Structure 1
Amino acid sequence: MANTGVGFITRCALIPQDSFSTFTVLNNCPYTVWAAAYPGGGRRLDTNQTWLLKLPSPTTGRIWGRTNCKFDSTGHGICETGDCGGKLECQFSGSPPNTLVEFSLNQGKNLDIFGISLVDGFNIPVELKPKSKGCNRVVGCTADINGECPEALKADGGCNNPCQVFKTEKYCCFSVTERCRPTDYSKFFKDRCPDAYTYPTDDATSTFTCPSTGATGYHVLFCPTN
């Protein structure tokens, strides 16, 4: 798989839309997070504030948090991490480093596919919890990645994935993804966040499913351990 930052969601075929799924995004961090979703837009969330996001099912997308943002009254500005073209309402994916919640809703065999990706690096601890009956698999990356980030990967407000820093075949797997292997840097992320997708072919231990019931919902929690 190419290192697009999209991870497993690029391999899911969509089927006709006929329902919606709700994502409840809560900021539990002791600082403001500018939540973002593609598709979905964006919202400023102060501590303990919630954003209710309703997305068509099936759809494929991602949710992430942005930090240290400044926006004017027209919704234009800049963020230190996760910036999406200087807009409050994101119309495309954010800039690394940013911790990603990725999902493909209502896919083959009526399954939702989801996971946490660090292929774009890390900026905020996050947890994804299904709130539908019959599915209780919680996934997350809650470690202090920023505080333990290797020197070569350090970035303002976050921790880069090695592909963004070195831009080499070893870390990015540009052309021969079937031979893509873990590296010392991907193992750094995996040791601290076992659920997370940490390099381009890290699917086996990082992709999770829930039955898609037509009314499936999910909680996304920033800073879950605070």
Structure 2
Amino acid sequence: GILECNGLEGQIPASLAEFTLNGDVGLSYYDVSYVDGSNIPLRIIPIDGTFNAAVGNCKEISCTEDQRNLDLQKYNIKMKDANGKIIAIKSLCSQYNTDATCCRNAFNDGNKCRNGWNAAQNDIYTKIKTVCPTSYLYAYDDHSSLFTCKGVDGRISPDF
């Protein structure tokens, strides 16, 4: 089918594929982000032969699981269209809008952000992270979600 956005851009919830090409020390950084929620599954695949395998942690990352199918009904984070069809999953920040779930103010620190989450918020994170282990789900989810590559043969980055 045809994807029609009716002139709207960047509306959340939205799945994001993020790239910083030729960044610090010549590395390219990439990730799959659901920090703003999710509406489609994503996959990023560095193409063999276009990156230096000895530098960084260059590999395929993905969340091919359609999060709309996860058992999250009791948390009321699924968004529906006018016909009742589930079209997206809200992020923890957009659903709860607290300093902790949005990693802001006193929680704007990788060591503090999740400390303010309640049991339901941690359960949502765990359920999504289980099927999307290489994806960002909150601002400081770097430890398992940020990947780097270095291009070869004069490339500033690998091909994806």
What's the TM-score, normalizing by structure 2?
A: 0.75
Shift of the 108–143 alpha-carbon distance from structure 1 to 2, 3 Å rule, reads same
CA RMSD, Structure 1 to Structure 2 (Å): 1.9
- Displacement of 1:134 after TM fit? 3.1
Counterpart residue number, 2:77: 153
Higher strand share: 1
Q: Secondary structure in 2 aligned to 1:190? A: helix
Q: Is the 8 A contact 2:18 2:31 kept in 1?
A: yes
Taking the TM superposition and a 5 Å limit, the aligned residue runs for 1:66-215 are 69=4, 77-78=6-7, 83-84=8-9, 94-131=10-47, 132-135=50-53, 137-148=59-70, 150-151=72-73, 152-156=76-80, 157-175=87-105, 176-178=107-109, 179-181=112-114, 183-212=122-151, 213-214=155-156
Question: 2:51–2:149: 8 Å Cα contact kept in structure 1?
Answer: no
Matches of 1:203 and 1:147 in 2, distance apart? 25
Structure 2 distance, partners of 1:124, 1:158, is: 8
Closer, same or farther: CA 168–217 of 1 in aligned 2, 3 Å:
same
SS of the counterpart of 1:170?
Answer: coil
Equivalences for residues 31-46 of structure 1 within 5 A: 31-32=1-2, 34=3
Deviations along 1:47-73, one digit per CA (max 9) or x if unpaired, are xxxxxxxxxxxxxxxxxxxxxx26xxx
For structure 2, list consecutive stretches of 5 or more residues without a partner in the other structure: 81-86
CA distance 1:216–1:154, shift in 2 (3 Å): same
Normalized per residue, which structure has more helix? 2
Contact 1:190 1:196 in 2 (8 A): yes
User: Structure 1: which 5+ residue stretches go unaligned?
Assistant: 1-30, 35-68, 71-76, 85-93, 219-226
TM score, norm. by length of structure 1: 0.55
Q: Secondary structure at the match of 1:140?
A: strand
Compare relative contact order (CA 8 Å, sep 6+) and give the higher one, 1 or 2: 2
Q: Tell me the equivalent position of 1:46.
A: none
Paired residue total: 134
Q: 1:122–1:149: structure 2 CA closer, same or farther, 3 Å change rule?
A: farther
